[in-house]
Structures are given as structure tokens and as C-alpha cells.
Amino acid sequence: MTFGRTRSVTLEGLAGSVVEVEAHLSGGLPAFMLGGLPDAACAQSPNRVKAAAASIGHSLAQSRITVNLSPASIPKNGSGFDLPIAIAVATALGLVPPERVGDVVHLGELGLDGSIRSVRGVLPAVLCAARAGCRDVAVPVDNAAEARIVPDIRVHPVAHLADLIAAHAAGVETLGVSAPERAPRLSVAKVTPDLADVVGQEEARTALELAAAGGHHLFLLGPPGSGKTMLAERLVSILPRLSREQSIDVLAVKSLLGVTAAELSLEGLPPFVAPHHSATQAAIIGGGSSAVRPGAITLAHHGVLFLDEVPEFKAAALQSLRQPLESGRVVVSRAKASVQFPARFQLVMAANPCPCGLGFGKGVGCSCTPLAKRGYLGRISGPLLDRVDLQVQVPAITRSSLAGHAGESSATVAERVLAARKAQAERWDGTPWRLNSEVPGSKLRRGRWRLSPSVTTDIDRSLDRGQLTLRGYDRVMRVAWTVADLGGRLTPTRDDVGTALTLRNQGPVAA
């Protein structure tokens, strides 16, 4: 046999393609050629394969080897092709029976001593292999736990090239080492911050509950120390738990960044991601020079993206949030191709009222000029704020508010949120929307969902007087429906509309 073939997977973002790895041995000058669009890391594979083969007693120094990765049109990324290339070569050398490996997907980097090292992106790669109908996948031992999350595929954890070749040659059912069957943990007693810790701040708590119930984006304006971050961190504790499919989506993103077995959990808590304002645009939306890495907005997929001190973020980074907010995904363009990542997140932004932070209420101690104050909040672009239905002020904590009784726990609030979500799911059944925040304003102003003029009289008047823009009007309507859903009412009342109006009127637009 001078020909060998096996399979692997290449990833572009989270999307994978099954790749056929073929090796030919032929006469002629010794060489090791690799074709089929390998990237820089993949192009180094022949060196590692030669060293690993030599370490287990098979010198390739006198061989002329041609390896082809097909389909040739798709870029092959990363060092995970070491293992399938080594197995294809071993088959061509007659060390492994071809029928043993033709359908097995191999993933893994080789150490110079033949050890098999973990690689990134094993979970999305195995998901892709399973969808393509593959039944067996050989992965590095350290990646076995994430691979096992994928149903309907047999995972063979492998530690060393020599062991794997021996197992293939012997025709054993279970390849490689018998790593313990560690199922991913389904529940973890991880302590998440609880809303009961938040004292006072009734209005901000209401806004947070509405945000969770209707999926509305949220803006918190207030002085330092008022608890904006504390509130934002607690949003995930009142959001519905993720489904198993959503949890796998979240873990697949982590896998691209090199998830460790300790971080694996399908407990279903939505992710909370809070990039620092000095973060680069690539860190926020994704990017990178060689392999494109997902950014904070993709890590926040199915969860919350929190931007604290939002006026301090780079304008370009804020600008780049608009497309993902609209489409739920982000396209990261590179020189040769563009990579797409999922990015359906709930946005929470927080800002101080002015550069010094004291320009609140009477503004005692604030030294900022009116111009500096206006310019500060003006850095947040209007089109971005237009997508934020809830814009509230979080006042400084006073001694009297500290004396107040402790607030409700997250568990209590989460129950109401769940009921409100159920009401929305029933109402929007048969439409493209599931949450009030997703419904276009025109649908709430006209036709079936239009409210009676007696309910909307206050905002109608504000609109007529020019105190409210049409976009502002639509934001109020969306929130009013969520107020009604949380209150268990079938349609919003005039009071519900009033509550919604109060909770959108306090942001930078009004300030």
C-alpha cells in the first residue's frame, strides 16, 4: 500500500467542514509536500509528523510523501491536522489497515516525541463531524470531555501516536487510552450574585426585571458607586436558564478559545461578558492576524454583554455593535475571507453622568463644564441608543435607602420573568418574534396590536408636541407590553404605558 486516507475537520469560525486527508508515497527525491490551502500553523505539520514518526521508529527521511487535504478550496487552519496526516502516512506505509481509518475523524497536534496534544475548537469540529454523519472521532485526551458533549458519535481519547497506530493495527474496538467517561457536569453549586444583595434602587430593579422579561437592552446612568455594575451582573441570575442546545453553543465558542475541562458545564447560566473600555475592536467584535478569534460579543452569545463606562469605549468599537445587534451575528472580514460568528446578546451599558462622575442631582463638587458634560454622553452614538428600550438613572445610595428592607431574591424575580416570557411566546406564536423587544414598532402602532387611544393618550400627546420621537414612541410601546406581561395583564393599561415612559426618559437622550 502506498496510499493512505483518513478524515479530519477544518473550522472557519464555528462552522466546520469534513476534510479528506490523503497521503501518497512515491519514488524520487525525498520530500514531504502538503497541498490544499494549509495556513501557517498547518503548513508546519510535515516537520512535526516527521519528528513524531522518527521518535517511534519510522524514519520518513528517505521517503517522498505527498499529502493532500481536500476539498482544496477550503482553508485548513491550525495544528490539528498533524494527527490525521500522520495516520494517513502510516496507512500508506502499511502500518495501519486502510479500512480501519478511512471513516474515522482524527484531530490533534503532535509533539516531537509522538505525544498527542490538545487543540482548540474540538467541540465545534466534533459537532460538524457528527452532522456530516461520521461515527468515530479520535481526539487528544485533554479534549475528550468537550467532544463527549456531542451526541451520536463515539469519542476515542488518544494520548500517543504509537498507541493509536498499534490500536488501529490490532483492530481493537476502542482506540487509544480508556480515559474515564466523564460526563459534563449538569449542575454546579456555583455562587452567582443575587438580587437580594441590592439594597434600595427600586426603579433600577424594575428596569432590570423588565429587561430580563422582554429581552430589552438597558442603559444605566448614575454616579460611581451607585451600584450600576452590581445590578448588571445580576441580570443573568433572573434570565431563563439556557436550553441544552444553547449551552452547547456557548461551550463551542469557549472551545475555540481553548476551553478547559474544568470550565465545562451545561448548567445553563447565560454568559456575562464585561470587556474593559480599553479593549481593542478585535477583542470586542472578533478578529486576529492568523486564526480569527471570537470577540466579547460572541462570548456573550445567549447572554449579557456589559459595557461599563461606555463613553470611554472607542467610537469605532461601539459603532461595530450595530450590525450584530440587528442580525444576531457578526462578520469579521479578513484579507482572504470573512468569518461569521453568532452574537445574539443582551446589551447593558452604564455611564457616569460626566467625566468626573459627580455631575448628578445638584451636581455638588462637579467641576465639569457644561460643554464637557454634553460631549461626554454625546460619545454614545444615537443609532446605538436607539436600540436601547430602557434608559434609567441610578441615583447615589443614600443613608435612608440603606436602611430600607432587603430586596427580593433572584429566584423570586426569575419566576415572574419566566411567566412573562411564556405570555410573550403565546402572543407572538406564528410570528418571527418571541420577545417584545424584537417586535418592530410599526406592528405595535398599527393593526392587530394597536392599543386604544385612551391607553396611549399621554404618549400620543408627547409625540405631537415633539417631546418624543417616533423611535422613542416605539421603545415605550415595546416596554409597555412587557410591563403588562409581568403584571399578568393581557394588554397594557395607561399606567403600564406611563411606567414604560418613565423608564426610557432618563438616559443620555433626555439628560
Shortest Å distance, C-beta 228 to Zn ion:
16
Question: Helices 244-256 & 122-131, crossing angle to 10 degrees?
Answer: 130
DSSP per-residue letters across 328-364: SEEEEE-SS-EEEEE---EEEEEE-SSTTS--STT-T
Residue 368 DSSP code: -
Whichever of 133 and 365 has its CB closer to Zn ion, that residue is 365
Shortest Å distance, C-beta 362 to Zn ion:
12
CB neighbours of 47 closer than 8 A, spacing ≥ 6?
none
Whichever of 102 and 224 has its CB closer to Zn ion, that residue is 224
Shortest Å distance, C-beta 497 to Zn ion:
34
Whichever of 324 and 359 has its CB closer to Zn ion, that residue is 359
Joined together, the cell numbers standing for residue 15 give 462552522
Cα 225 to its chain centre, rounded Å, is 29
Shortest Å distance, C-beta 379 to Zn ion:
15
x/- map, 214-243, Zn ion, by CB under 5 A: ------------------------------
Shortest Å distance, C-beta 366 to Zn ion:
4
Whichever of 370 and 430 has its CB closer to Zn ion, that residue is 370
CB neighbours of 186 closer than 8 A, spacing ≥ 6?
266, 267
Shortest Å distance, C-beta 480 to Zn ion:
34
What is each CA distance from 511 to 194, 201, 472, in whole angstroms?
30, 19, 14
Whichever of 49 and 366 has its CB closer to Zn ion, that residue is 366
Shortest Å distance, C-beta 310 to Zn ion:
16
Shortest Å distance, C-beta 402 to Zn ion:
24
Whichever of 377 and 417 has its CB closer to Zn ion, that residue is 377
x/- map, 101-120, Zn ion, by CB under 5 A: --------------------
Looking at this protein, which amino acid is placed at residue 271? P
Looking at this protein, which amino acid is placed at residue 5? R
Show the CA angle centred on residue 190, arms to residues 262 and 204, nearest 5°: 130
Chain positions 335 to 364 lying near Zn ion, rule: CB under 5 A, are: 354, 356, 358-359
Dihedral in degrees, nearest 10, Cα atoms 94, 99, 102, 104: -110
Question: Judged by CB under 5 A, which of 42, 52, 325, 366 binds Zn ion?
Answer: 366
CB 300 within 8 A of CB 328: no
Whichever of 304 and 366 has its CB closer to Zn ion, that residue is 366
Shortest Å distance, C-beta 495 to Zn ion:
35
Whichever of 361 and 488 has its CB closer to Zn ion, that residue is 361
Cis check: omega of the bond before 353, within 30 degrees of 0: no
CB 106 within 8 A of CB 56: no
Show the CA angle centred on residue 109, arms to residues 136 and 118, nearest 5°: 75
Burial class of residue 75, CB neighbours in 10 A (0-12, 13-18, 19+): middle
Q: Rounded distance, CA 33 to CA 315, Å?
A: 46
CB count in 10 Å sphere of residue 304: 24
Q: Rounded distance, CA 60 to CA 54, Å?
A: 7
Should residue 396 be labelled a site residue for Zn ion when binding is judged by CB under 5 A?
no
Whichever of 25 and 396 has its CB closer to Zn ion, that residue is 396
x/- map, 367-386, Zn ion, by CB under 5 A: -x------------------
Chain positions 260 to 319 lying near Zn ion, rule: CB under 5 A, are: none
Whichever of 366 and 477 has its CB closer to Zn ion, that residue is 366
Shortest Å distance, C-beta 372 to Zn ion:
7
- Count residues contacting Zn ion (CB under 5 A)? 6
- The site for Zn ion (CB under 5 A) is made up of 354, 356, 358-359, 366, 368
